[in-house]
């Protein structure tokens, strides 16, 4: 989704942008990973875009007594970037927001770049613009269709299980997700814990599952948080044991496994594979008790979660299919609004009703 939006930004400046400003904080270390990321992003526009690019350094107050030239010389990655832009760069001091002079100098540098180039602006491919508009319209239609299907499915299932809906005095859930996925924040959100509550304990026990308990409208809620793993790496073997232990900590078993997926990160095939591998020891039965919990929902802005799902790609759609398209979205703004938590716990009850109870680790 991000790739399409980044590419689309060019077509919002018809017939093309006069300049592309590559924004970099001066304190950023341009290592191999960062360098590769810049290349991947800029490659969306084609090689000619570098002729129209100026590096815009921000946070110049970070330099202290250093000059920007000294900063560039100290970092090979920065040298590479500056060379790609033919030594074009500008510095903005974020502490001087009303300084119009620094903006005036930037515009002068853009005009100098026009004079040096054969074309004053980066000309976009109009055929590609039309293709992208078609892709956007197709994705919008698929997102709307998905939303209607999910809503209809939810209504039908509620009607089918109307007489069987359980009234539970206790709900038990297991949280699974990568490090940095918002797993701990989601736990705090579910239990209405303060932002840093439980932080010290979790820091000490990063390789063990941690159980927290709370109460919501008279219902006892138990949340077991399994340790996370680093993105772009294979989940370590000891983690499988911990996931197994997290289930036994929910005796007689969890009602739901919440698979935590942040909407602000890409979700690739390897991410899908790691969830599947961690749950494999519990057999295919476990997927009837799984739901995807999207975190950092505020990042979506005005977009719906369905927009994100259809644009993010096959790996995420396959994970949702294994969960029978069960998902929930959390904003992690630490508000005291109980509605999102109430909706989530109702979905957990619905999953338990459909399965006639919790997932038993004895299975």
Please write the tens of the pLDDT for every residue from 227-256. Answer: 999 988 888 889 999 999 999 999 899 999
Q: Where in the chain is the domain with CATH 3.40.50.300?
A: 2-116, 169-354
pLDDT band of 204, cuts 50, 70, 90? very low
pTM of the model: 0.79
Model pLDDT, residue 200: 45
Q: Are 189 and 341 in contact (CB under 8 A)?
A: yes
According to DSSP, the residues that pair with 221 across neighbouring strands are: 171, 214
CA angle, 253 as apex, 248 and 259 as ends, to 5°? 90
Among the listed residues 262, 265, 245, 267, the one whose alpha carbon sits nearest the alpha carbon of residue 254:
245
Give the fold, CATH level 3, of 2-116. Answer: Rossmann fold (3.40.50)
50-53: long-range contacts (C-beta < 8 A, 24 or more apart)?
Answer: 50/84, 50/85, 50/86, 51/86, 51/117, 51/122, 52/17, 52/18, 52/19, 52/20, 52/113, 52/117, 52/121, 52/122, 53/19, 53/20, 53/21, 53/22, 53/84, 53/85, 53/88
Averaged pLDDT of the chain: 88
Model pLDDT, residue 288: 96
Give the fold, CATH level 3, of 169-354. Answer: Rossmann fold (3.40.50)
Residue 57 burial class via C-beta count within 10 angstroms: exposed 0-12, middle 13-18, buried 19 and up: buried
pLDDT band of 363, cuts 50, 70, 90? low
Among the listed residues 298, 285, 179, the one whose alpha carbon sits nearest the alpha carbon of residue 239:
179
Per-residue pLDDT for 203 more than 90?
Answer: no
pLDDT band of 164, cuts 50, 70, 90? low
Q: Are 290 and 256 in contact (CB under 8 A)?
A: yes
Percent of the chain with pLDDT over 90: 57
């Amino acid at each position: 989704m991000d790739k399409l939006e980044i590419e689309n930004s060019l077509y919002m400046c018809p017939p093309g942008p006069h300049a592309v400003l590559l924004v970099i904080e001066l304190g950023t270390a341009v290592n191999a990973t960062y360098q590769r990321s810049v290349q991947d992003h800029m490659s969306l526009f084609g090689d000619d875009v570098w002729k129209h690019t100026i590096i815009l350094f921000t946070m110049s107050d970070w330099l202290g007594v250093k000059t920007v030239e000294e900063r560039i010389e100290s970092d090979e990655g920065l040298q590479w970037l500056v060379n790609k832009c033919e030594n074009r760069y500008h510095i903005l001091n974020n502490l001087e927001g009303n300084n119009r002079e620094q903006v005036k100098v930037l515009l002068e540098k853009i005009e100098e770049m026009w004079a040096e180039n054969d074309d004053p602006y980066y000309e976009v491919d109009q055929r590609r613009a039309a293709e992208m508009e078609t892709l956007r319209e197709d994705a919008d239609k698929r997102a709307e269709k998905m939303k209607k299907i999910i809503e209809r499915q939810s209504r039908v299932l509620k009607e089918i299980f109307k007489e069987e809906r359980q009234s539970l005095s206790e709900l038990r859930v297991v949280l699974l997700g990568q490090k940095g996925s918002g797993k701990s924040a989601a736990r705090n959100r579910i239990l209405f814990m303060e932002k840093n509550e439980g932080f010290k304990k979790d820091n000490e026990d990063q390789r063990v599952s941690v159980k927290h308990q709370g109460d919501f409208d008279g219902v006892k809620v138990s949340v077991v948080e399994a340790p996370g793993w680093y993105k772009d790496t294979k989940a370590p073997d000891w983690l499988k044991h911990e996931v197994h232990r997290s289930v036994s900590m929910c005796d007689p078993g969890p009602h739901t496994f919440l698979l935590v997926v942040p909407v602000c990160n890409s979700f690739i095939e390897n991410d899908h594979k790691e969830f599947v591998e961690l749950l494999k020891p519990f057999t295919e039965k476990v997927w009837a008790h799984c739901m995807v919990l999207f975190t950092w929902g505020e990042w979506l802005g005005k977009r719906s979660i369905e927009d994100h799902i259809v644009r993010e790609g096959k790996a995420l759609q396959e994970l949702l299919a294994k969960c029978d398209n069960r998902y929930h979205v959390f904003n992690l703004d630490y508000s005291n609004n109980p509605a999102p938590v109430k909706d989530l716990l109702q979905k957990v009850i619905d999953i338990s009703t459909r399965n006639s109870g919790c997932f038993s680790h004895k299975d």
